[in-house]
Structure formats: structure tokens, C-alpha cells
Copies of this chain bind each other. A is one copy, B any other.
Amino acid sequence: MMKTKITIIGGGFAGLNLSKHLAGKEEFDVTLVDMNNYHLFPPLLYQVATGFLDVSNIAYPFRKFFHGKANVHFRLGKLQKVMPEDNKVLLSTGELAFDYLVLATGTEPNYFGIENIRRTALPMKTADDAIEIRNYMLQKMEEVTIELDEIRRKKLFSVVIAGGGPTGVEIAGMLAEMRKRILHRDYPELTGLQPRIHLVDSASALLGAMSVQSQKYTYEVLLKMGVEIHLNTQVKNYINDTVIFSDGKTLETQILLWTAGVTGKIFEGLPQECYGRGNRLLVNEYNKVSGTGNIYAIGDSCLLTSDKNFPQGHPQLAQVALQQGKNLAANLVAVIRNQPLTPFAYNDKGSLAIIGRNKAVADFPKPALHLEGFMAWGIWLFVHLFSLVTYRNRFMTLANWAVAFFTKDQSLRMIIRPRADQQSSRNE
């Protein structure tokens, strides 16, 4: 039997779930391609960035997932070009042929074309980003302790978080808790000094995608924790350690965290007409990219408008990606068996955001229900713990959370940074 070659680009929630549902189906020869050799659980990245979890708690090597799954292979590489006419992709590590191609490449930070921000702000989309934030902030804290100049000290000692979505809210809350519980124990030199935490969003509320009750509660809790919230405000530029806002105000800081938006990736080889709003790939109800015959897109990178409950497309959430991966697996089986296909319909299970210790918000659609505070916090912990992909991840994360909860502290505040000079000399 000639096997059908499926090439999946990207091993996030969508791509990995698709592979999982194709594993063991002997009609298919599946190759999962990713720039990293591991799957990552991004909802907990902010805990890596603040030193509460290790990357290894929320990451897992693809090759270990595929132990014993003879029809699924892993290939390290970055997509360079799609060649639809040849049924091939060009990767940074060579060519790969396919019968069906699935793009599950997710998104990248949207800097809205502001080059200064792209170059110097700290994004938080990848494991590398989170480690870089941790290293950078710890480094800046060490600099504060020996800085005598008042103006330079102020720059080092304030954080601006651009973007009031879940990531921005979560990191603002975490930093406020650390300021309260850890700062002066770690840095007794700084007793009496308080860094400032600014959270900025262009909309008129935080957590734009959630219920008004959740927005209100989050705003009030963060305010009480001492976070300075700037709504209806955009970050327009970042020049010489100065953040410039849309209303002309400015703020001096050396730490600008960027969670202000995402955009799809553009690949050579696909015509401009394939892309919609936010560079998302336009797909039909079966996730097939418009204008192509055997190319699909799933997860954050696609825009599917045929779901009657989501005529503007789906929110870019893990649940959508997981469900699209599973649905496409079933449809690919149906395609080669000449069976009817199932259009994608998102089953909204609700949304959650954590603000701090014992504080979170949750909105559920059916039955419509809003929760806040301790109960929502418990649900958040439970859902995130059990969404981790392996028992090992869950166990280690739980152990780290237990340490953090009972000690009100954690001890992962290490600046660990393989030397750039060494790497480059070895890779000459």
C-alpha cells in the first residue's frame, strides 16, 4: 500500500493534536516539522519568565511523544518556502515532499511596524523569550543595587507591560506579588524603594475577550495590588529608554514587555490572496486554504469564517487549535476513504485568566456563568495542570507550584545564559 504523506509544519496545540490523532493510522506517513525539538505549553510561559517554573516543566521533546508511533516522524527545521506546484516544502534543513500539507505555524508578536520596539522590547511567545525576560530582568535588578544615579535607577526600576490581554494581566499580577513578597528579601539594599509596574492597553478595558464582570474584577484587583493601569492608550514608540504613548505622555524604563498583539507569518510560495486579516490564512469549513487543493491550515494561523457562531473567525485560543487538529485528522481519514467531511464547529468551553495568588476570573458559556476569586483560581490551576501534555510535566509543575504556594516564594531566579560568543565560534 502506498501511504499518504502528511507534512505538518508546527508542533503547537494544533499540529501536535493532529499528529496524535493520525498516529497509528497506517494509511498515513506523517512528518511533523518544528523549529524547536520540543512542544511547548505557552499559557504558563509567564511563570517561566518570572522564575516560578522551569522551561522543562512546560516543554516536552517531540521525539519522545512519538516513541513507538511508527508512522509519525519528527523533522527539525524552519519553513522557508511552500512549492504547491511540486508538492514540496523547503525547510532550513532541506526539502520535504507531501501529499497533504498542514500549516500550523501559529503567530508571532505584532510590533505594528515599529522597528525600535521590535529590536528592543521583550516579547513573550517562545521559551527563549521567557528565559530572556527572566535573565534580563534579574540582570537589571542587579544593576539597580549598585546604581547611584537617581534617574538611571528609576529607569531600571520600572516595568511597562504593553497589552492587557491574559498574558499582560498575568505577568502584571505576578510582578506585583513578587514586589510585595520577595523583592526586599532578595535585595535588602533596596529597602524602602518600590519599583513601578505599568500595564497599558489600547482598549477601554483589560481582558477584552472576557465578560464585563471579569474585566471589572481584574481591573480592581490589579489596582489594589498597586499596578498602574493605562487604558485607551497605545505605545507608539520606544526611543532611548523612553516609552512614548499615543497621548504624547512618556515613561522612562529599560524594561518594556510586549504582549500587545500577534500576527500570522507570511511564507514564500503562497499567493497574497490566501491571507486575510492579521495575516491569517483564509480556510474553508474543512480548514483547507482557499485556492489550494491539498494545503490546510489550523490553529492561530488560520481564519475560518464559516462557523455560524463565529462569523468573524475564532479567537486565537488553545481550545480552537486543539479542536481543529482533531477535526482535521478525522477529515483527512475521510478524504482518503471517500467519506463525507465534517465542517469545523468550535465548542467553546469557556475562558480563564489568573491575576494573582487566590485570584482569577472565569467565564463559561453554557450555562452562562462568571466566577471570580478563589474558586476561579482553583479552576485555573486545575485546568492548566491537566492540560500539560505528560505526567512528568504535571508532576514537576505541581511540585514547583506547591513550593511557591507554601513558601510564597520560588527559587528559580538564576541568570542562565549560554554565552553567545561560544555558540557562534562553534557554529562557524
Interface, chain A (partner B; CB < 8 A)? 36-38, 54-56, 59-61, 63-64, 67-68, 70, 73, 75-76, 93-94, 119-120, 122, 127-128, 131-132, 135-136, 138, 142, 145-146, 185-189, 390, 392, 395-396, 399, 403, 409, 411-420, 422-426
Q: Please, which residues of chain B bring their CB within 8 A of the CB of A55? A: 414, 416
21 contacts between A and B (CB under 8 A): A37-B414, A38-B416, A54-B56, A55-B416, A56-B411, A59-B414, A59-B416, A60-B411, A61-B186, A63-B187, A64-B413, A73-B188, A76-B142, A94-B146, A119-B425, A132-B423, A132-B426, A135-B418, A390-B411, A395-B399, A418-B418
Q: Contact between A36 and B415 (Cβ–Cβ < 8 Å)?
A: yes
Bound CA–CA A418/B395 (angstroms): 26
Bound CA–CA A418/B185 (angstroms): 28
Q: Please, which residues of chain B bring their CB within 8 A of the CB of A61? A: 186, 411, 413-414
Q: Sorted from nearest, which 8 A-B pairs have the closest CB atoms?
A: A420-B420, A38-B414, A76-B142, A63-B186, A61-B413, A128-B418, A132-B418, A67-B185
Bound CA–CA A120/B403 (angstroms): 40
Q: Contact between A146 and B413 (Cβ–Cβ < 8 Å)?
A: no
Bound CA–CA A54/B396 (angstroms): 11
Copies of this protein chain in the complex: 2
Q: Please, which residues of chain B bring their CB within 8 A of the CB of A185? A: 67-68
Q: Please, which residues of chain B bring their CB within 8 A of the CB of A68? A: 185
Q: Which listed residue (B36, B399, B424) contacts A420, Cβ 8 A?
A: B424
Bound CA–CA A188/B412 (angstroms): 35
- Minimum Cβ distance to chain B for residue A188 (Å): 7
Bound CA–CA A396/B145 (angstroms): 31
- Minimum Cβ distance to chain B for residue A219 (Å): 31
Bound CA–CA A409/B424 (angstroms): 31
- Minimum Cβ distance to chain B for residue A220 (Å): 32
Q: Please, which residues of chain B bring their CB within 8 A of the CB of A37? A: 138, 142, 413-415
Kindly list 19 other residue pairs between chains A and B, CB separation below 8 angstroms, not including A36-B414, A64-B413, A128-B422: A37-B413, A37-B414, A38-B415, A54-B54, A54-B56, A55-B414, A59-B414, A61-B414, A63-B186, A63-B187, A70-B188, A127-B416, A132-B418, A132-B419, A132-B422, A132-B426, A390-B411, A392-B403, A392-B411
Q: Which listed residue (B59, B63, B414, B425) contacts A120, Cβ 8 A?
A: B425
> Residue on B with the closest CB to A407?
B392
Q: Please, which residues of chain B bring their CB within 8 A of the CB of A412? A: 56
Bound CA–CA A215/B415 (angstroms): 38
Q: Which listed residue (B145, B396, B418) contacts A399, Cβ 8 A?
A: B396
Q: Contact between B425 and A423 (Cβ–Cβ < 8 Å)?
A: no
- Minimum Cβ distance to chain B for residue A20 (Å): 17
* Contact status of A75 and B418, CB under 8 A, knowing A64-B411, A138-B37, A411-B390: no
* Contact status of A189 and B132, CB under 8 A, knowing A119-B425, A399-B396, A420-B423: no
Q: Which listed residue (B38, B64, B186) contacts A186, Cβ 8 A?
A: B64
Q: Please, which residues of chain B bring their CB within 8 A of the CB of A60? A: 411, 414
- Minimum Cβ distance to chain B for residue A240 (Å): 12
Bound CA–CA A417/B146 (angstroms): 29
> Residue on B with the closest CB to A148?
B94
Q: Please, which residues of chain B bring their CB within 8 A of the CB of A420? A: 420, 423-424
Bound CA–CA A345/B63 (angstroms): 51
Q: Please, which residues of chain B bring their CB within 8 A of the CB of A138? A: 37
Bound CA–CA A413/B55 (angstroms): 12
> Residue on B with the closest CB to A39?
B414
> Residue on B with the closest CB to A136?
B426
Q: Which listed residue (B128, B416, B424) contacts A131, Cβ 8 A?
A: B416
Bound CA–CA A232/B263 (angstroms): 60
Bound CA–CA A70/B59 (angstroms): 38
- Minimum Cβ distance to chain B for residue A403 (Å): 6
> Residue on B with the closest CB to A254?
B426
